[in-house]
Amino acid sequence: GQQVMQIPQYQHVQEGEDFTTYCNSSTTLSNIQWYKQRPGGHPVFLIQLVKSGEVKKQKRLTFQFGEAKKNSSLHITATQTTDVGTYFCAFRPGGGNKLTFGTGTQLKVEL
């Protein structure tokens, strides 16, 4: 079945540095969602992208869906310690109801 890979698997940054995680698929995706999971917590929905080339912003977070709808990225500007956690991309194969998660990128922010 369809799968997505995320890179990098881990990222350590100094507070104030930028961070980007990438989500890549070998096949076209009808949609992509992003979730954040704090250490010891549960996934929290951030956003959904459905259109080719779509870019959405939430404060310091910028989400992008590739033109070919095979990749997506999440960029955080000027990271803060509150950004610590694992960021997952996820998609619904064929636009159906089952959400399939990527491998995740664990972000650590050091003061």
Partner 1 sequence: DTGVSQDPRHKITKRGQNVTFRCDPISEHNRLYWYRQTLGQGPEFLTYFQNEAQLEKSRLLSDRFSAERPKGSFSTLEIQRTEQGDSAMYLCASSLATGGAGGYTFGSGTRLTVV
Q: Which residues bind partner 1 (CB under 8 A)?
A: 31, 33, 35, 41-48, 88, 90, 92, 95, 97-104
The distance of closest approach from Cβ of residue 52 to partner 1 in the complex, given in angstroms and rounded to an integer, is 17
Least distance (Å) from partner 1 to the CB of residue 54?
Answer: 13
Q: Which is nearer to partner 1, 20 or 103 (CB)?
A: 103
What's the CA gap between 38 and 21, in Å, rounded?
Answer: 16
Residue type, 11: Q
Q: What DSSP string describes 25-88?
A: ESS--S-EEEEEE-TTS--EEEEEE-STT-EEEETTEEEEE-TTSSEEEEEESS--GGG-EEEE
**At closest approach, how far in Å is the CB of 78 from partner 1?**
25
- Taking the complex as a whole, the smallest distance from the CB of residue 9 to partner 1 amounts, in Å, to 9
Nearest CB to partner 1, comparing residues 36 and 71: 36
Looking at the Cβ atoms of 8 and 16, the one nearer to partner 1 is: 8
Distance CA 19, CA 82 (A): 13
